[in-house]
Chain A
Amino acid sequence: MTGSAATQATQSEDTWIPSSCGMCYNQCGIRGHRVDGTLVKIEGNPENPIGRGRLCARGLAGIQLLYDPHRVNRPLRRTNPEKGIGVDPVWKEIGWDEALDEITDRLARVREEDPRGFFFSGTVISLAPLMHALGTFLPAFGSPSAFVSDGHHCGNAEHILARTLHASVTTNPDVAHCDHLLLFGCQAGLGTYYALTTMAQDVADARDRGMKVVVVDPFMGTAAEKADEWVPIKPGSDGALACAILNLLVNEYRIFDADYLRDHADGPYLLTDDGWYARDTETGKPLVWDVDAGALRPFDAPDLGAVALEGHYEVENATCRTVFQALREQVAKWTPEAAEEVTTVPAALIRRMAREFGEAASIGSTIVIDGVELPLRPASALYFKGAHGHDNAWPTSLAIELINEVVGASNVPGGLLGTNPVCLGHPDTGFPRWQPGPDADGLLEAGALLYNDPYGRSPGWPPPPESADLPNLRDLVGWPITTCFTPAALNDRENFSFDHAPQVLLNYGSNLLMSVARPEVCFEAFKDAFVVCVNLHSDETAEALADIVLPDACYLERLDPLPNFTRHHHPVGMGDWGHTIRQPLVEPLYERRHFSEVLLELARRLGITEPMNLLTNNLFGLVAPHALEGGAEYEWREIADRAYKSWFGEERGLAWFEEHGVVTWPKKVEEVFWKPFIHARAPLYNEWVKRSGEQVAKIALDRNMKGVDTSGFVALPDWRPCRAWRPRDGFDLQAIYYRVPWHTFSMTYENPWLDEISRGEPYSYFVCINTATARAKGIEDGDPLEVEGADGGTIRGRARLTEGVHPEVLAVANNGGHWAKGMPFARGKGIFFNQLLPMDLEHTDLVSLSMDCDARVRVRKVGEA
């Protein structure tokens, strides 16, 4: 033991310290037991509403990350000039000053020549430092070239719809009142997903109470294992199933919440033949049909009579239809039989699924909570990567979301809730505060998204795309907040007509060679850049690409003010608000440093402290007298103290949070179930997507870009096969990856306790193949397999014959199979699924920048794996 904390601590120390987990993006409340300077135990903090004192296996195992002997402890410099995947960089330890001098020099040159040449990538696992970089350092530097490199595993399309329909970044069902939970490729409360440790408690309670769980998934993971009904489906076809359920609800069974659709959605807005809202010529406002007046009226006319939800109407000699009518007609082709052909889910089962969901929604029922009568819609449909990890992500996600919308199960008790889109503030200070409101068209506009802004300024609708300057398509499309498309665009630079190349890549906390797609994609994109990896290990990305590696402090060694992003993973539903601290349970060991402090130092060296300060005020919502001033230099602890005082008053500064860990107060019913209280309509019809599609097509045409297919920019739900569906000669199976509750992406494969789980568990280190499929190919349990992708890439692993997987599917857990020298424990454990995934325009949903996460493959038995 050579760590500083242990040697500096007093001999009689025995203390418990509250903090926040960082083993996945959920950041649950923890407390650490430190004895004589050594952390000896991590457990859940019962006072923290995020987890309520209970942790998952990963959170409990974090101690083995802190003391992993393979961590990077000092800055490293590559001495082998050759870069390459699997090439030994021959690291040499250097001092921090030498490392920072060189990085500063490189950055200063880029900033002078063209700041866009500075690229940044980061991980959502370390959400707080990531946001610190994205929200302050990048804009202060003047570079927009950032991407979130685990975008592959991220929400993408889900985040867009969480924003348009629920005014937040993510969603979770109100399981406290839900009777029927329909999950598409998602394990909410049953293994993975947001607020897992809290949701697991609540979902178990709900299932005890009788909530039915139906899980649509090609593989029987932990959620399907617990489901009342497992509905295996062909990967990438969830949208067809959802369209059929919608069709049955709105056309055949006519189970829909007309009041909700009329008053809280754009259901009655009229659409012209060419697919735009019919608008009042004077005010430009969307028109509705006033049944009483027998006339067209603006949607918000003060003396509006009864409004038509269905039907066709004449507008200026043209025939219009309501949005709801258009939805009905749009999904009519998706009969259960048509959906069966695509999904392999029997039509009779689809009918029963739709009817049971619709009936469970108990349209018209109400409930009294805290003395307030509210609509009760105890049915939720929810989805994640299994459903939207495809290049048909947008229309698929929209179809699933609208199952909730048509029955009114949206932001009311029992339904799908945005993740805390309304907060009216701590009782003492009124901060933090945010809430959605209506835009000029009466449509929902989120109050605040990822950034911590106590004023809740509306981020507004996305600006119309005007250029393609960013090599991530983000300003083409506007809304995706996470994408890993950047490297693919860089590899297609001519097509995107970029006039700048990456000069410097600062890669924080992510192993992008493994997490994005097959490693060649990211390697090619950045092989000519000066690459700095700030990370815990010398991982595959560092070894292939990095010129310098900086030793990062892990979540147990660093201070993050306000680490929990309330609209991302804080539990939904009634209960308590909780704002927390992440603080060092031990001081950084060896020469590890917190990335946020490195950013402050780099800003000082680059002379951009003044804009950093301004942006820091914005990021943390620092208000007078706690706002940072001018170009003054502040310690990280000082900034944290000002953040806490700005939000929670003078008496609750950093010292208070260091001692207490979390401030809590009860949520109000009008915060949690805000929909009846805030008149802002959910857009069923996505005019903005249609508009974006036209703009993207125009830019592509202007620039003569190839491969930009805008047919997916649809305003209403639909389904089309993803690219991985295309028949390819001799490739008869679809490979998918699934998630287990004890691994996060690829990083946890280095953890010996979590490895011990996988080694004792029957599936996660194997290639799961349906027993009958395997036998037909002469494959027996345990046989070494080679899985070859139709789009390239080969993976190897042993066969696990199981009945719990679709016969046309191979299922692989998470993303293991490390090969870096710097992660010897993880090396060879699990299977590197992403090797099968190309990344390019063709395999990407351009609306959400989701990539196809499944692959057409064939499998054969080989010699020893």
Chain B
Amino acid sequence: MRLGMVIDLKRCIGCYGCQIACKAENGTRPGTTWARVVKREWGEYPDVKKLSIPVLCMHCGEPPCVEVCPTGASQKQESDGIVFVETDVCVGCRACVMACPYGARYYQDDERDYFEQGNNAYEQCVYSAHQKGVVEKCDFCRHRLARGDEPACSANCMCKARIFGDLDDPTSEVSRLIREEGGFQLNPELGTDPSVWYLPPER
């Protein structure tokens, strides 16, 4: 099994719901956005195009972050291909942050708070799950998968632009979409073989 996600750039309206769905689910610290949106614009008025491209960890088949990790903290899960960080083993050297071509990794330096008063009651509850001095990233919400739910970003997407499933299963929805709707990976030339696929915005 190789878990992956298809992001349909035609359905996505760039609302940033995924960015906040991830924050709300994982309670990540200020400045950390495991899911985020990149906006691009091209053409010349009035023939102009804008595009919103949601990004997250690509859960690469050949993850450069795992390769450079000196401690073995960055790992690829054998059973489903999820790339994750064993934070207890991470020493915060940040080699993986440099190695990741997709900007998916965040070093937890705890340098800033949202509010000058420090953490509020909610933040006190949720930040305790995030160690300082380590690198964190999207793990496809492994805690949700364990109870049979899909990742928070795809479960919430109000355009249903994110579809989660098994890339190894040719009958899965993700496999069908990639096959029939022109699925592509970001920066295939890097040879990282992402498990996150995109469908073209116009088709």
- Do they bind each other? yes
The interface of chain A, by Cβ under 8 A from chain B, is: 1, 3, 6, 35, 38-44, 51, 53-57, 60-61, 63-64, 66-70, 190-191, 196-197, 200-201, 203-205, 207-208, 220, 222-226, 230, 232, 741-742, 752-754, 756-757, 760-763, 770-772, 802-807, 824-825
Beyond A61-B20, A753-B20, A761-B37, 13 extra complex contacts between A and B, CB < 8 Å: A35-B125, A38-B121, A53-B155, A54-B17, A60-B23, A64-B120, A207-B11, A208-B10, A220-B50, A741-B15, A753-B23, A756-B33, A757-B16
A809 CB to nearest chain B CB (Å): 11
Per a CB cutoff under 8 Å, which of A53, A57, A205, A761 touches B20? A57
B39 CB to nearest chain A CB (Å): 5
23 contacts between A and B (CB under 8 A): A1-B124, A6-B121, A35-B125, A40-B122, A43-B24, A43-B25, A44-B156, A54-B157, A55-B156, A57-B15, A57-B19, A60-B156, A69-B117, A190-B13, A191-B13, A203-B159, A208-B11, A222-B52, A756-B19, A757-B19, A761-B39, A771-B45, A802-B41
CB neighbours (8 Å) of B24 from chain A are 41-43, 60-61, 63
**Complex Cα gap A754–B15 (Å):** 11
Do the beta carbons of A56 and B17 come within 8 Å of each other? yes
Given contacts A66-B122, A201-B158, contact A803 B43 (CB under 8 A): yes
Question: Does B51 count as interface, using CB distance less than 8 angstroms?
Answer: yes
B181 CB to nearest chain A CB (Å): 10
Closest B residue to A187 using CB positions = B13
Do the beta carbons of A191 and B45 come within 8 Å of each other? no
CB neighbours (8 Å) of B43 from chain A are 803
Question: Does B73 count as interface, using CB distance less than 8 angstroms?
Answer: no
Do the beta carbons of A204 and B114 come within 8 Å of each other? no
Do the beta carbons of A3 and B158 come within 8 Å of each other? no
**Complex Cα gap A60–B156 (Å):** 9
CB neighbours (8 Å) of B49 from chain A are 225
Do the beta carbons of A60 and B11 come within 8 Å of each other? no
**Complex Cα gap A69–B124 (Å):** 13
**Complex Cα gap A596–B23 (Å):** 32
Per a CB cutoff under 8 Å, which of A68, A207, A223, A761 touches B115? A68
**Complex Cα gap A201–B46 (Å):** 28
What string of 1s and 0s marks CB contacts (under 8 Å) between B4-38 and chain A? Answer: 00000011011111011101110100110100110
Question: Does B88 count as interface, using CB distance less than 8 angstroms?
Answer: no
Do the beta carbons of A230 and B157 come within 8 Å of each other? no
Given contacts A56-B15, A200-B13, contact A772 B45 (CB under 8 A): yes
Question: Does B160 count as interface, using CB distance less than 8 angstroms?
Answer: yes
CB neighbours (8 Å) of B115 from chain A are 68-70, 752, 825
Question: Does B78 count as interface, using CB distance less than 8 angstroms?
Answer: no
Counting chain B CB atoms within 10 Å of each CB, the highest count among A38, A204, A223, A770 belongs to A204
**Complex Cα gap A805–B46 (Å):** 8
Do the beta carbons of A64 and B156 come within 8 Å of each other? no
CB neighbours (8 Å) of A38 from chain B are 121-122, 125
Per a CB cutoff under 8 Å, which of A68, A205, A226 touches B120? A68
Do the beta carbons of A222 and B15 come within 8 Å of each other? yes
Given contacts A41-B24, A60-B156, A61-B24, contact A222 B122 (CB under 8 A): no
Question: Does B80 count as interface, using CB distance less than 8 angstroms?
Answer: no
A345 CB to nearest chain B CB (Å): 10
CB neighbours (8 Å) of A64 from chain B are 114, 120, 122
Counting from the closest, the 8 A-B pairs by CB-CB distance are A752-B114, A67-B120, A803-B48, A1-B121, A204-B11, A57-B20, A200-B158, A741-B15
**Complex Cα gap A6–B121 (Å):** 9
Counting chain B CB atoms within 10 Å of each CB, the highest count among A200, A207, A807 belongs to A200
Given contacts A41-B25, A201-B158, A741-B16, contact A804 B48 (CB under 8 A): yes
Closest B residue to A1 using CB positions = B121
A642 CB to nearest chain B CB (Å): 34
Question: Does B116 count as interface, using CB distance less than 8 angstroms?
Answer: yes
Do the beta carbons of A222 and B14 come within 8 Å of each other? yes
**Complex Cα gap A763–B16 (Å):** 14
CB neighbours (8 Å) of A222 from chain B are 13-15, 52
Per a CB cutoff under 8 Å, which of B41, B156, B161 touches A43? B156
CB neighbours (8 Å) of B52 from chain A are 222, 225
Given contacts A67-B120, A201-B158, A771-B45, contact A57 B16 (CB under 8 A): yes
A212 CB to nearest chain B CB (Å): 12
Residues of B108-158 whose CB lies within 8 A of A = 114-117, 120-126, 152, 155-158
CB neighbours (8 Å) of B42 from chain A are 803
Question: Does B44 count as interface, using CB distance less than 8 angstroms?
Answer: yes
Do the beta carbons of B44 and A803 come within 8 Å of each other? yes
A227 CB to nearest chain B CB (Å): 10
Do the beta carbons of A200 and B27 come within 8 Å of each other? no
CB neighbours (8 Å) of A805 from chain B are 45
Do the beta carbons of B161 and A204 come within 8 Å of each other? yes
**Complex Cα gap A38–B116 (Å):** 21
CB neighbours (8 Å) of B44 from chain A are 803
A858 CB to nearest chain B CB (Å): 20
Closest A residue to B47 using CB positions = A803
Per a CB cutoff under 8 Å, which of B37, B41, B158, B161 touches A55? B158
Closest A residue to B157 using CB positions = A54
CB neighbours (8 Å) of A201 from chain B are 158-160
**Complex Cα gap A69–B19 (Å):** 23
**Complex Cα gap A851–B39 (Å):** 33
Per a CB cutoff under 8 Å, which of A40, A60, A753, A807 touches B125? A40
B145 CB to nearest chain A CB (Å): 16
B108 CB to nearest chain A CB (Å): 16
**Complex Cα gap A51–B155 (Å):** 12
**Complex Cα gap A804–B14 (Å):** 15
Counting chain B CB atoms within 10 Å of each CB, the highest count among A35, A56, A60, A232 belongs to A60
CB neighbours (8 Å) of B120 from chain A are 1, 64, 67-69
B30 CB to nearest chain A CB (Å): 7
**Complex Cα gap A232–B114 (Å):** 38
CB neighbours (8 Å) of B17 from chain A are 54-57, 60, 741
Counting chain A CB atoms within 10 Å of each CB, the highest count among B13, B25, B44 belongs to B13
**Complex Cα gap A60–B46 (Å):** 35
Do the beta carbons of B36 and A760 come within 8 Å of each other? yes
Counting chain A CB atoms within 10 Å of each CB, the highest count among B16, B33, B51 belongs to B16
**Complex Cα gap A771–B48 (Å):** 12
B48 CB to nearest chain A CB (Å): 4
CB neighbours (8 Å) of B45 from chain A are 232, 770-772, 803-807
Do the beta carbons of B122 and A60 come within 8 Å of each other? no
CB neighbours (8 Å) of A54 from chain B are 17, 156-158, 160
Closest B residue to A802 using CB positions = B41
Counting chain A CB atoms within 10 Å of each CB, the highest count among B11, B121, B161 belongs to B121
**Complex Cα gap A677–B14 (Å):** 40
**Complex Cα gap A824–B116 (Å):** 9
CB neighbours (8 Å) of B19 from chain A are 57, 756-757
**Complex Cα gap A341–B44 (Å):** 22
CB neighbours (8 Å) of B15 from chain A are 56-57, 191, 200, 222, 741-742
**Complex Cα gap A378–B21 (Å):** 34
**Complex Cα gap A222–B52 (Å):** 9
A250 CB to nearest chain B CB (Å): 28
Do the beta carbons of B10 and A207 come within 8 Å of each other? yes
Counting chain A CB atoms within 10 Å of each CB, the highest count among B43, B52, B115, B123 belongs to B115
CB neighbours (8 Å) of B121 from chain A are 1, 3, 6, 38, 67
CB neighbours (8 Å) of B23 from chain A are 60-61, 753
**Complex Cα gap A496–B10 (Å):** 53
Closest B residue to A205 using CB positions = B160
Given contacts A6-B121, A760-B36, A824-B116, contact A40 B13 (CB under 8 A): no
A586 CB to nearest chain B CB (Å): 9
Do the beta carbons of A232 and B16 come within 8 Å of each other? no
**Complex Cα gap A805–B48 (Å):** 9
CB neighbours (8 Å) of A204 from chain B are 11, 13, 159-161
Closest A residue to B115 using CB positions = A69
A233 CB to nearest chain B CB (Å): 10
Closest B residue to A57 using CB positions = B20
A666 CB to nearest chain B CB (Å): 22
